[in-house]
């Protein structure tokens, strides 16, 4: 029997819903010879948080507020902001004590512009050209290197998501274009990729992109009718269901239920935000939840659906924006983010800032939890994913780029051992960790990345 194509989609008017990996997509001979299952594609998530971490300050480093005291496998996460990741410690690769020198000023005119150029450095590890015009230049970002080589088989080579507003034009300060602050993915050294903030846009992109009939008007019409996207594909889903075995039917039903659940949450947020009730984020699109954690969770769920349906294998996810004074009361500290990061080197304020860092890391725990519970054949998506999380800034009170917070999670299909903390020698470029990650992702032939000086034993 001919296996079902991995690219099979359930089609309806203005909708095209990709499918999770089903047994019916695996050739019978190979399924029977399960001793050598095919290697699943590796998914990549790159998450950036701005403003460094409390653990990058002198006091914070001594108190192990970011990196644990012990290196190797026997590390204690409890004093650190990484403690929400304890359930996933076997998937963790913590790389501490690295610097991002390409975010430092190179000339007198660049001094003081750290907030306006750092984000452009995070995934490119390249020094951005100081310009407020259109002649921007940084480097190709890590996620885009991967997407360009391994993301071409999927409908979307990559997705770029963000939480904070990124619609500023022109120069943002110190002679830097706003794109340096707003974009972390660079397709070429001169082409930053726009990031999507609105979960509705992500949802429509994921479940309409493959259908040539899915015009924006049709998508809007569908929403006006207050119907689920699944209502449009009900016949197509029933036809497919009839061809599937019991296990695949359960997988399909669970998956479609997840799609419906995310869609329902987005619709509920839109209804609330369009109701005329006062909003905390009045200028945000209706699909954007006012709550940071709700917003992040929805974006994470969308990424999990994108990976499960193989619509894309690469996501970059910008969680913050430099100079943002957003508050995170759920962190246990209600003060504004940017002010908290300027802690004056005082221990009590450093500890407050650490609460925000811990809260942000919790978002990664949710991502890992979600990916771990998303099936990928007979494994989970997490088994076949690499997550990078970090900041291009170190001690934000000094605006430096030393001892930057960084870790990886997931085992990249077995290429990373996980469960390890590596403290790099002083002065090690973070680019070394990223080059090592790229090698784990299949770039064995890549000799250098950014200002890397070598690889690390991870």
Partner 1 sequence: MTKLFVAALTALALADAASNVTGTWNMGLQGGHVVPVALVLKQDGTAVTGTIALPTQHAGERKEVELKGRFDAGALKLSGAADGAAEETTIEIAGKMLDDGSLEGTIAMVAGGSTHSATWTAERLKERRQ
- For position 421 contacting partner 1 by CB under 8 A, the verdict is no
CA separation for the pair 315, 303 (Å, rounded): 7
- For position 58 contacting partner 1 by CB under 8 A, the verdict is no
Q: Cα 410 to chain center, whole Å?
A: 13
Least distance from partner 1 to the Cβ atom of residue 241, Å: 56
Least distance from partner 1 to the Cβ atom of residue 453, Å: 15
Q: Which of 106, 215, 426, 427 binds partner 1 (CB under 8 A)?
A: 106
CA separation for the pair 40, 278 (Å, rounded): 46
- For position 355 contacting partner 1 by CB under 8 A, the verdict is no
- For position 283 contacting partner 1 by CB under 8 A, the verdict is no
Widest distance between CA atoms in the chain:
69
CA separation for the pair 180, 119 (Å, rounded): 6
Per the DSSP assignment, residues forming a β-bridge with 277 are none
Least distance from partner 1 to the Cβ atom of residue 339, Å: 8
Only segment of 23-31, 165-173, 253-261, 278-286 that touches partner 1 (CB under 8 A): 165-173
Only segment of 82-90, 106-114, 234-242, 411-419 that touches partner 1 (CB under 8 A): 106-114
- For position 127 contacting partner 1 by CB under 8 A, the verdict is yes
Kindly identify the residues of this chain, within the stretch 379-408, that bind partner 1 according to CB under 8 A.
396-399
257 burial (CB, 10 Å; 0-12 / 13-18 / 19+) is: exposed
In contact, 186 and 123? CB cutoff 8 Å: yes
Least distance from partner 1 to the Cβ atom of residue 115, Å: 8
Q: Which of 32, 39, 107, 283 binds partner 1 (CB under 8 A)?
A: 107
- For position 167 contacting partner 1 by CB under 8 A, the verdict is no
Closest CA to 115 of 404, 331, 398: 398
- For position 442 contacting partner 1 by CB under 8 A, the verdict is no
Q: Kindly tell me which of 169 and 246 has the beta carbon lying closer to partner 1.
A: 169
What is the DSSP secondary-structure string of 16-82? EEE----GGGS-HHHHHTTTSPPPPPPEEEEEE-SS--GGGSHHHHHTTSSS-S--BS----TTSTT
- For position 343 contacting partner 1 by CB under 8 A, the verdict is yes
Least distance from partner 1 to the Cβ atom of residue 397, Å: 5
Six token digits for residue 294: 């709700």
Count of residues of this chain found to bind partner 1 when the rule CB under 8 A is applied:
25
- Residue 408 carries which DSSP code? E
- For position 5 contacting partner 1 by CB under 8 A, the verdict is no
CA separation for the pair 190, 197 (Å, rounded): 22
CA separation for the pair 72, 187 (Å, rounded): 35
Q: Which of 5, 78, 109, 250 binds partner 1 (CB under 8 A)?
A: 109
- For position 116 contacting partner 1 by CB under 8 A, the verdict is yes
Only segment of 156-164, 338-346, 367-375, 424-432 that touches partner 1 (CB under 8 A): 338-346
Q: Which of 3, 105, 336, 375 binds partner 1 (CB under 8 A)?
A: 105
Q: Which of 48, 99, 114, 383 binds partner 1 (CB under 8 A)?
A: 114
CB atoms under 10 Å from CB of 243, counted, come to 12
Q: Cα 437 to chain center, whole Å?
A: 15
Kindly identify the residues of this chain, within the stretch 292-331, that bind partner 1 according to CB under 8 A.
323
Q: Kindly tell me which of 100 and 305 has the beta carbon lying closer to partner 1.
A: 100
- For position 351 contacting partner 1 by CB under 8 A, the verdict is no
CB atoms under 10 Å from CB of 396, counted, come to 27
In contact, 82 and 407? CB cutoff 8 Å: yes
Only segment of 7-15, 108-116, 157-165, 241-249 that touches partner 1 (CB under 8 A): 108-116
CA separation for the pair 437, 458 (Å, rounded): 9
CA separation for the pair 389, 387 (Å, rounded): 7
- For position 169 contacting partner 1 by CB under 8 A, the verdict is no
Only segment of 56-64, 295-303, 340-348, 438-446 that touches partner 1 (CB under 8 A): 340-348
- For position 133 contacting partner 1 by CB under 8 A, the verdict is no
Q: Which of 6, 231, 342, 351 binds partner 1 (CB under 8 A)?
A: 342
Task: Please provide the distance, in angstroms rounded to a whole number, between the alpha carbons at the two ends of the chain.
Answer: 43
Strand 191-192, strand 186-188: pairing: antiparallel
Least distance from partner 1 to the Cβ atom of residue 353, Å: 11
- For position 340 contacting partner 1 by CB under 8 A, the verdict is no
- Residue 450 carries which DSSP code? T
- For position 453 contacting partner 1 by CB under 8 A, the verdict is no
Six token digits for residue 158: 């990559």
Q: Per this entry, what is the length of the chain? A: 458
Which residues make up the interface to partner 1 (CB under 8 A)? 104-109, 111-112, 114, 116, 127, 129, 137, 171-174, 323, 342-344, 396-399
């Amino acid at each position: 029997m001919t296996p079902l194509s991995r690219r099979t989609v359930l089609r309806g008017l203005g909708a095209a819903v990709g499918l999770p990996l089903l047994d019916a997509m695996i050739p019978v001979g190979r399924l029977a010879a399960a001793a050598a299952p095919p290697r699943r594609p590796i998914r990549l998530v790159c998450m950036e948080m701005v403003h460094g971490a409390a653990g990058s300050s002198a006091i914070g480093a001594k108190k192990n507020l970011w990196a644990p005291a012990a290196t190797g496998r026997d590390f204690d996460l409890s004093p650190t902001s990484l403690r929400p990741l304890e359930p996933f410690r076997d998937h963790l690769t913590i790389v501490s004590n690295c610097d991002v020198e390409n975010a430092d000023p190179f000339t007198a005119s660049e001094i003081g512009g750290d907030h306006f150029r750092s984000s452009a450095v995070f995934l490119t590890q390249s020094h951005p050209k100081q310009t407020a015009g259109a002649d921007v230049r940084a480097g190709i970002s890590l996620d885009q290197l991967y997407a360009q080589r391994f993301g071409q088989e999927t409908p979307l080579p990559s997705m770029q998501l963000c939480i904070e507003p990124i619609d500023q034009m022109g120069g943002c300060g110190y002679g830097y274009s706003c794109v340096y602050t707003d974009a972390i993915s660079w397709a070429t050294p001169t082409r930053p990729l726009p990031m999507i903030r609105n979960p509705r846009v992500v949802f429509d992109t994921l479940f309409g992109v493959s259908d040539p009939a899915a015009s924006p008007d049709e998508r809007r019409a569908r929403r006006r009718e207050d119907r689920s996207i699944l209502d449009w594909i009900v016949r197509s889903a029933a036809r497919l269901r009839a061809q599937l075995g019991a296990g695949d039917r359960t997988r399909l039903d669970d998956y479609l239920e997840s799609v419906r659940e995310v869609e329902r949450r987005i619709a509920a947020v839109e209804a609330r935000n369009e109701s005329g009730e006062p909003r905390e984020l009045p200028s945000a699109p209706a699909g954007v939840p006012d709550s940071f954690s709700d917003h992040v969770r929805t974006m994470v769920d969308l990424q999990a659906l994108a990976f499960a349906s193989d619509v894309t294998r690469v996501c970059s996810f910008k969680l913050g924006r430099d100079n943002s004074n957003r508050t995170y009361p759920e962190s246990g500290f209600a003060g504004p983010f940017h002010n908290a990061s300027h802690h004056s080197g005082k221990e009590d304020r450093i500890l407050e800032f650490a609460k925000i860092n811990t809260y942000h890391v919790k978002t990664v725990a949710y991502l890992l939890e979600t990916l771990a519970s998303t099936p990928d054949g007979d494994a989970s998506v997490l088994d076949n994913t690499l997550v990078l999380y970090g900041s291009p800034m170190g001690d934000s009170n000094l605006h430096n780029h030393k001892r930057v917070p960084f870790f990886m999670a997931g085992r990249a299909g077995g290429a990373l051992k996980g469960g390890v903390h590596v403290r790099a020698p002083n002065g090690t470029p973070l680019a070394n960790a990223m080059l090592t990650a790229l090698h784990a992702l299949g770039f064995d032939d890549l000799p250098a990345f950014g200002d890397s000086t070598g690889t690390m034993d991870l």
